[in-house]
Structure 1
Amino acid sequence: MINSIRSKQIILISAMVLLVAFLFTRDIKGLVKPKEEPKAAVPAGGQMAATETAAINLNEVSTTGKNLLSANLSAEITSLENAFKSAPEAKKAEAAKLLAQKWDDVEQAVPSALYLEIVAEKEQSLNNWLVTGDRFLKAFDNTRDSLLQPALLQKANTAYTHAAKIDSTSADAKTGLGITIVNGMGMPMQGIAMLMDVVKKDPKNLKANMSLGTFAIKSGQFDKAITRFNSIIAIKPTPDAYFYLGTAYENLGKNQEAIDAYLKSKKLAGNATLSKFIDDKVKALSSKN
């Protein structure tokens, strides 16, 4: 009995390690980038304590980001920042858009999101708040800073809340809110219910379905995850959908199904780093057959 419990615990831990390895080596323009340090833990459920949420200093974030860039790119961003600071109020939004795009081009989601927030505050629209929320979620997913994570999640939640106020029927706003709630901005089941409502009204909503699928894996509901990701693949086969499907199969001991899913992920992604990771996984799983 004890051995059985330990086996289940090991399987679940394996799932989480695999998810972290995948989620935090993803590149938005490819699929994978060089391996980085593991992401720090975020509260798995329930509302984040207010004391955990600190303000984000744009100047500090910018300085940190520019230190990771080449001298030419850093100088280019500094020039855009100076233009933003000196721009008249009527031109601030346009200058902020340029900075948001430049920071996104160099894969720095935090400063990009902060400038998008400025745009949304000056030009209130559904799309501006949705784009801002999405960028803050991207920043939340990618950062390893445990102090920054709650602030980013809070800002994402706030952006989606603004979007929902503009259009209470927006599936994108409701999906974003559901994701932030499940990740710590409220009671997880409230967020799941919001995502389920989105999928009920729009069964082909990929973002809501993907979120429900990944949450199923994180909670150890691998059978539900398999059903969810197979449904997603039927709508639109993607590398990440196949990867998560493989993760679910692997943790149920269905090694051949896992191998098949991983190989399809590798084929669709066409990324050298992911390919190496999957080749190692396939080799390990094949030895168990």
Structure 2
Amino acid sequence: MTNSIRTKQVITIGAVLLLIAFLFTRDIKGLVKPKQESPATPAAGQLTSNTAQDINLQEVSATGKNLINPSLAAEITKLENAYKSAPEGDKAAVAAQLAQKWDDVEQTVPSALYLEIISKQQKSLQSWLNTGGRFMKAFDSSRDSLMQPLLLQKANMAYTNAMAIDSANADAKTGLGITIVNGMGMPMKGIAMLLEVVKKDPSNLKANMSLGTFAIKSGQFDKAIVRFNDIIAKKPSPDAYFYLATAYESLGKNKEAIAAYLNSKKLAANPTLSKFIDKKVAELSK
């Protein structure tokens, strides 16, 4: 493999990392930021359950309120006061309202923290799955290199608690596998968990998507192409087409990449993504 091809693949993978937040959370901020402003994802195997400090709910709440409409911030403050004064038996219901309100204004960190409060009280499979999913949503959309490891750790803990309740649950195993590959343990252990999910349920889109994106990140573009073509055959989506295009581009298959990019643009119908793809197609057409 020549140095120029390697360089092109590194650049392409960098573009994928910038767009992960958009494709999974529809937070398009990751698309328009320069590459150097986007923090690196924690290295696989770098984190353990003892490395992260807790996240201060009051601090993230105050930060979140500064980013939203004052009237919405006032509504949340009112709910927070109600939560503080509620009897212990009623706190979970108010916490659920706060989690939803924060999620509605796209502030996923405080939302996830309130779901965690509920899970610690209810200790149910679904509550831990909801908590893990919200922390992963916050992790994917975060641009804070100090916050990201904390969010990943909390997602890992939530999915670990879910697995303790039902070790065969596909959502729990998939979520836990994703956190492991992203930095909460040895990546091959996480991949093995995802492969186990897919073996039992070949139509599991979340596990298949995760395996496909990890194949791209590790430079296994041929495997990624097979994976995303299988996903598209089952359920076409803008993110699946985008990653397929990325894999084709990395292998120099520009014609196939252009077709996949255009399908992603058509299904997403998002102005920011469309602008990015138009630029990409123009480059590949030269």
TM-score, normalised on structure 2?
A: 0.94
TM-superposed CA distance for 1:12, in Å, is: 2.5
Over the aligned positions, Cα root-mean-square deviation in angstroms equals 1.6
Of residues 47-56 and 97-106 in structure 1, the stretch that sits farther from structure 2 once superposed is: 47-56
Give, as a single letter, the amino acid of the residue that structure 2 aligns with 1:277. F
CA contact (8 A) 2:159 2:173 kept: yes
SS in 1 for 2:183: helix
Structure 1 Cα separation of the partners of residues 50 and 251 of structure 2: 39
Alpha carbons of structure 1 residues 40 and 155: separation in structure 2 relative to 1, 3 Å:
same
- The match for 2:7 is 10
**Deviation for aligned residue 1:121:** 1.0
- Counterpart code for 2:171: D
Other-structure match for 2:21: 24
- How far residue 52 of structure 1 moved from its aligned partner, in angstroms, is 4.6
Cα distance in 2 for partners of 1:252, 1:9 equals 10
Deviation at 1:47, TM superposition (A): 3.8
Alignment of 1:179-258 (within 5 A): 179-258=178-257
Per-residue deviation, 1:85: 0.8
| Distance (whole Å) between structure 2 residues aligned to residue 208 and residue 193 of structure 1 | 11
Distance 1:49 1:175, change over 3 A: closer
Alpha-carbon distance, 1:15 to partner: 2.0
SS of the residue 2:18 aligns to: helix
Q: Alpha-carbon deviation of 1:11? A: 2.2
1:52-63 to structure 2, matched below 5 A, reads: 52-63=51-62
Q: 1:178-213, CA deviations, whole angstroms, 9 ceiling, x for partnerless residues? A: 000001111000000000000000000000000000
Identity of aligned residues (%): 65
Q: How many residues align?
A: 283
CA deviations over 1:17-66 (Å, ceiling 9, x no partner): 211231234473x5745734643113332141567512200000001111
Letter in 2 for 1:143: S
Distance 2:71 2:33 in 1: 24
**SS of corresponding position for 2:123:** coil
Question: Residue type of the partner of 1:21?
Answer: L
TM-score, reference length from structure 1: 0.93
CA distance in 1, matches of 2:44, 2:133: 21
Match of 1:152 in 2: 151
* TM-aligned CA deviation for residue 6 of structure 1: 1.7
What aligned pairs does 1:116-127 form with structure 2 within 5 A after superposition?
116-127=115-126
> Displacement, 1:98?
0.3
1:143 alignment counterpart: 142
Is 1:108 the counterpart of 2:125? The answer is no
In structure 1, how many angstroms separate the alpha carbons of the residues matched to 2:33 and 2:101? 23
> Would you say the 8 A contact 1:31–1:274 is kept in 2?
no
**Taking structure 1 as reference, are residues 26 and 216 closer, same or farther at Cα in structure 2, changes over 3 Å only?**
closer
Q: Are 2:99 and 2:111, in contact at CA under 8 Å, matched by a contact in 1?
A: yes
Structure 1: tracts of 5 or more residues without a match: none
**Cα distance in structure 2, aligned partners of 1:50 and 1:27:** 25
